[in-house]
Amino acid sequence: MGNGGRSGLQQGKGNVDGVAATPTAASASYQYRCIECNQEAKELYRDYNHGVLKITICKSCQKPVDKYIEYDPVIILINAILCKAQAYRHILFNTQINIHGKLCIFCLLCEAYLRWWQLQDSNQNTAPDDLIRYAKEWDFYRMFAIAALEQTAYFIGIFTFLWVERPMMAKKKPNFILLLKALLLSSYGKLLLIPAVIWEHDYTSVCLKLIKVFVLTSNFQAIRVTLNINRKLSFLAVLSGLLLESIMVYFFQSMEWDVGSDYAIFKSQDF
């Protein structure tokens, strides 16, 4: 799929479309990264006079530092969905995407809606109408808070593991702010929860499990790319996040605050 864009790539003086949208080479040195080998780079392209632009070639791997700057956003998105490390590096290091906060809130709303919907399914209330409406609204806020707390537990699990394991990593200090941003951005798969619930069918619970696996895979790749660590460490980090999240889910379920959501990996049977 990515080959459509690749054929348009010329390592010479090709015209780059949408130049205004791409970040310009700023005076700050080494603020970009080569998407192929993760080497730091001063600029993504050089602007010669008369609108002639040349994509910078990485000194370390001799490939373009960021071929994606002349790709269509849809192709970049497809590459990100395929969990390609290059696409992740492009998005995290070479663009100034700043939607992680809003995306996080929106994902939590999706998750809260899913839990709330499953709660409605399991509840057959006989209370008066007004009371039901009030209780339902309250339920939604409660589900939002629980989803947020479980998400926080998941992140704390990941961060704690990585903090303990930081001597194992490269000599550079891990950038945990960037990691948080990467984790929030790579959780975009949760947006699929809404269509999965709206188009309800026999396989909804399978869909929800697959969405969970997709989100975890994206998180795994985001950690690997952001900190430039090996697959094993990244996998263990996601696993520790899941472990802490499961403890939180177990706690909420034993308090009978939460429903056993099909989306969660952990679901107590006796609830």
| Shortest distance, position 185 Cβ to Zn ion, whole Å | 23
| Segment (H or E) for 102 | helix 100-122
| Shortest distance, position 58 Cβ to Zn ion, whole Å | 3
Q: What is the DSSP letter of 259?
A: -
| Shortest distance, position 81 Cβ to Zn ion, whole Å | 23
Q: Considering beta carbons, is residue 79 or 187 the nearer one to Zn ion?
A: 79
| Shortest distance, position 59 Cβ to Zn ion, whole Å | 8
Q: Considering beta carbons, is residue 56 or 187 the nearer one to Zn ion?
A: 56
Q: Considering beta carbons, is residue 65 or 107 the nearer one to Zn ion?
A: 65
| Shortest distance, position 38 Cβ to Zn ion, whole Å | 7
Q: Considering beta carbons, is residue 60 or 120 the nearer one to Zn ion?
A: 60
Residues forming contacts to Zn ion in the complex (CB under 5 A) are: 34, 36-37, 39, 58, 60-61
> Is the Cα torsion angle 234, 238, 239, 240 positive or negative in sign?
positive
Q: Considering beta carbons, is residue 31 or 39 the nearer one to Zn ion?
A: 39
